[in-house]
Amino acid sequence: MTANHTPFRLPSFGPSTSRPRTRIFPSAATTRINGDVTTSTVSDVGLKPRNLSSVKNDNKNVEIEKVYVKTDDGIDEKSLAVERTTDEEDNARSENKEGAPIKNNNAEDETEVEREAWKLLQEALVTYCDTPVGTVAANDSSDEALNYDQVFIRDFIPSALAFLLKGETEIVKNFLLHTLQLQSWEKTVDCYSPGQGLMPASFKVKTMQVDEEKVEEVLDPDFGESAIGRVAPVDSGLWWIILLRAYGKLTGDYSLQERVDVQTGLQMILNLCLTDGFDMFPSLLVTDGSCMIDRRMGIHGHPLEIQALFYSALRSAREMVNVDDGSKNLVREINNRLSALSFHIREYYWLDMKKTNEIYRYKTEEYALDAANKFNIYPEQIPQWLMDWIPREGGYLIGNLQPAHMDFRFFMLGNLWSIVSSLGTPKQNKSILNLIEAKWDDLVGHMPLKICYPALESEEWRIITGSDPKNTPWSYHNGGSWPTLLWQFTLACIKMGKSELAEDAVALAEKRLPVDSWPEYYDTRTGRFIGKQARLYQTWTLAGFLASKMFLRNPETAAKLCWEEDLEILETCVCALSKSGRAKCSRDVAKSHILV
Ligand code: GLC
């Protein structure tokens, strides 16, 4: 495979927050190959394992050299091009806000299983014009690819963390910049385009036959217009922001987040999330399947997973948005939303034995500003399993809250991410881990970790999933066990000073995953069997395992990715109630017992 190297070029969009719609065009570099090439892996381009950064060593400034951008006025390559000099790059690196980058993990400390996982991770690499830009979702040749041969934004996060912890930072930078270019691609579902700022769920490197001999590579994003169920990925933009912060924290290179095009992309995602709608709640209102659980599972509305990622993305953005006249309103909005969102989740999503008993004795149909049962929850909604299951010690954040509806299921990712981001109070965060420990057999069992508990069965399964044969009870999203959740669990455990829990879970995974060929998920109540339709060699399974091992080895790296309680967020209250005198701000009433 050959490629013409052109100088590093980046589009420059000026300081305005409204960026012209962008579109990626085929690379100028042409590739001569026989037959169809869809995705190139490292072995295709002859890279040596563990040597990713050397890809660009002979030409330091070519990391996204072949991205061409078209504005509504056509392609103006010259005026768009920004050539970055080595000096500029070096200066940018030296503006390290937190001193030296982290110590890289040493290969000598790795176990045999880790070495195997690293090899598989290298094989999952996807290159675009000879540059690694991501990892495929799964490398399972025995099964139908569907879209598992694509680079998913959410799936790449543990790969990115593993690479960053290993000191292989270029691929993460490439990923962040390339996905940024895909933002706002004008794709439609029946002539309706997604909102500006939306990030795709996934992308694929495709080849285009230009003439008989010439083939060009293009990046083809999927915003949900091809996805099963046609779901728009709300979590992609949130993950992108979280990863951008992680990149700065783990490399010490903050110049990436300061770039004008990156700031613009960041602000576009935020604007999309912060747009006013009809909603009464500070939580984000989304459709079913808009996150890791990307099929119908009855999580439409205000699912915890999205709220926890939204909160983390807002906290990340608060650290990264350059404050100037153009962005000061946005910064104010971020602060207000953080404050309202944390109050809302802490106060209304929290469930423990005491709260269950309160709900059990709720009065309904209260028409009043200061109603105790604000959302008109009928006590009959409390499921029997919960009455038997809720431990005396510990608690968790429920899956969803809507008018007259509480989803009492325990969703792992949302709870873990609430700990990591301090969306929960310090006491709540501690209680969540206590609950996981107390319910170890249900939530960890033979394979960490349950995506949600319990499974929907019988009539509920039929009505809520729409009789989805992939989501049968205790399978896949419906109570399946997902080893990729290990890295988030490890972060949460390290943050709460309970690394030993993570160590136990990692040890379980280390025994089984290589023997079972690194499956995507496990089935049954305790995760005893490889999932019915699980892909093997699932990248985020092995990357999540690797990241967990590295966090445990260097807990200070985990600390860099977590957030502590921020009292400033709790102090901000923008509600006008006290001023109007119509009613008491519900926060003043609540502050004493739940906020911290
Ligand atoms: C499944 C998962 C989704 C993941 C994708 C690729 O659809 O539900 O969360 O991103 O596979 O691995």
Q: Give the chain's mean pLDDT.
A: 83
Ligand 1 atom at minimum distance from 152 CA: 10
Tell me the mean pLDDT in the region 453-464. 98
Q: Ligand 1 centre and the CA of 294: distance in Å?
A: 7
Lowest-confidence segment of 5-14, 307-316, 533-542 by average pLDDT: 5-14
Instruction: Please give the distance, rounded to the nearest whole angstrom, from the Cα atom of residue 82 to the centre of ligand 1.
Output: 36
Instruction: pLDDT band for 256, please (50, 70, 90 cuts).
Output: very high
At 65-94, the pLDDT tens digits run: 333 332 333 323 322 233 333 443 344 333
Single-letter amino acid, residue 456: L
Average pLDDT over residues 114-138: 97
CA distance 232 to 515: 35
Number of the ligand 1 atom closest to the C-alpha atom of 148: 6
Kind and range of the H or E element at 209?
A: strand 202-209
Query: How many CB atoms sit inside 10 A of residue 171's CB?
Result: 25
* Ligand 1: centre distance to CA 478 (Å): 13
450 CB within 6 A, ligand 1: no
Minimum-distance ligand 1 atom for the alpha carbon of 293: 8
Listed range (135-144, 404-413, 447-456) with the worst mean pLDDT:
135-144
pLDDT band for position 417 (cuts 50, 70, 90): very high
CA-nearest residue, atom 7 of ligand 1: 294
Q: Rg of the chain's alpha carbons, rounded to an integer? A: 24
Task: Give the span between the Cα atoms of 273 and 283, in whole angstroms.
Answer: 10
At 288-335, the pLDDT tens digits run 999 999 999 999 999 999 999 999 999 999 999 999 999 999 999 999
Alpha-carbon gap, residue 486 to 42, rounded angstroms: 26
Strands (E), 412-461: 452-453
By most ligand atoms within 8 Å of CB, the mutation choice from 140, 143, 152 for ligand 1 is: 152
pLDDT value at 388 more than 60: yes
pLDDT at 596 over 80: no
**Structure confidence at residue 191 as a pLDDT band (50, 70, 90):** confident
- What does the alpha-carbon distance between residue 201 and residue 186 come to, in Å, rounded to a whole number? 14
Residues 6+ apart with CB under 8 A from 20: 13, 71, 72, 73
pLDDT at 232: 84
H or E element: which one contains 318? helix 304-320
Stronger pLDDT, 183 or 543, i.e. the higher one? 543
Tens digit of each residue's pLDDT (9 = 90 or more) over 347-360: 999 999 999 999 99
pLDDT higher than 50, residue 179: yes
Please give the pLDDT value at position 116: 98
Residue 595 has a pLDDT of: 57
Q: Is 137 in the pocket of ligand 1 (CB under 6 A)?
A: yes
Composition of the chain by helix, strand, coil, percent to 5: 45, 10, 45
Closest CA to 495 of 443, 574, 417: 417
CA distance 410 to 304: 10
**What are the tokens at 198?**
């939306």
pLDDT, residue 160, reads 98
Give 576's pLDDT tier (boundaries 50, 70, 90).
Answer: low
Amino acid 102: pLDDT: 53
Distance, in Å, from the CA atom of 433 to the CA atom of 418, rounded to the nearest integer, reads: 11
Please determine, for residue 475, whether its predicted confidence score (pLDDT) is greater than 90: yes
Edge to edge, what strands does the sheet with 151-152 contain?
Answer: 151-152, 202-209, 215-222
Kindly state the average pLDDT of the residues 380-395.
96
115: left (phi over 0), alpha (psi -120 to 50) or beta: alpha
In this model, does residue 488 exceed pLDDT 60?
yes
Whole-Å CA distances, 562 to 35, 190, 261, 422, 499: 47, 41, 26, 8, 14
What is the rounded end-to-end Cα distance, in angstroms, of the chain? 58
Whose structure tokens read 């690819």? 145
Hey, what amino acid is at 30? T
The residue whose C-alpha atom lies closest to atom 12 belonging to ligand 1 is 137
Banded pLDDT at 279 (limits 50, 70, 90): confident
C-beta atoms surrounding 545 within 10 Å:
28
- For ligand 1, is residue 292 a contact (CB within 6 Å)? yes
The mean pLDDT of 406-417, rounded to a whole number, is 98
Ligand 1 atom with the smallest distance to the CA of 154 is: 10
Looking at residue 95, what is its pLDDT? 38
Give yes or no for residue 227 CB within 6 A of ligand 1. no
- Residue 538 CA: nearest ligand 1 atom is 12
DSSP code string of 214-228:
-EEEEEEEESSSSST
Pocket test for ligand 1, best of 139, 294, 305 (most atoms within 8 A of CB): 294
- What per-residue confidence (pLDDT) applies to 185? 63
Residues 196, 217 contacting (CB under 8 angstroms): no
Instruction: Report the pLDDT value the prediction gives residue 577, as an integer from 0 to 100.
Output: 57
Q: Is the CB of 156 under 6 A from ligand 1?
A: no
The pLDDT value given to residue 127: 96
Hey, what are 79's tokens? 């005026």
State the pLDDT at residue 96. 38
| CB distance 155 to ligand 1 below 6 Å | yes
Alpha helices (H) in 131-259, listed in sequence order: 153-166, 170-182, 234-251, 255-258
Chain-centroid distance of CA 219 in Å reads 21
When mean pLDDT is compared across 200-214, 306-320, 521-535, 540-554, the lowest value belongs to 200-214
Is ligand 1 within 6 A of the CB of residue 152? yes
Collapse the DSSP code of 150 into the 3-class scheme (helix H, G, I; strand E, B; otherwise coil) and give the result. coil
Return the residue whose CA atom lies nearest to atom 2 of ligand 1.
292
Ligand 1, atom 3, residue with closest C-alpha? 292
Ligand 1: centre distance to CA 123 (Å): 19
pLDDT at 579: 59
What is the biggest distance separating any 2 CA atoms in the chain, rounded to whole angstroms?
Answer: 76
pLDDT of residue 589: 62
pLDDT at 251 (0 to 100):
98
pLDDT at position 583 is 63
Whether residue 54 has pLDDT greater than 50: no
Cβ–Cβ under 8 Å, residues 311 and 239: no
Mutate to test the pocket of ligand 1, among 154, 230, 231, 293 (most ligand atoms within 8 A of CB): 154
- C-beta 294 within 6 A of ligand 1: yes
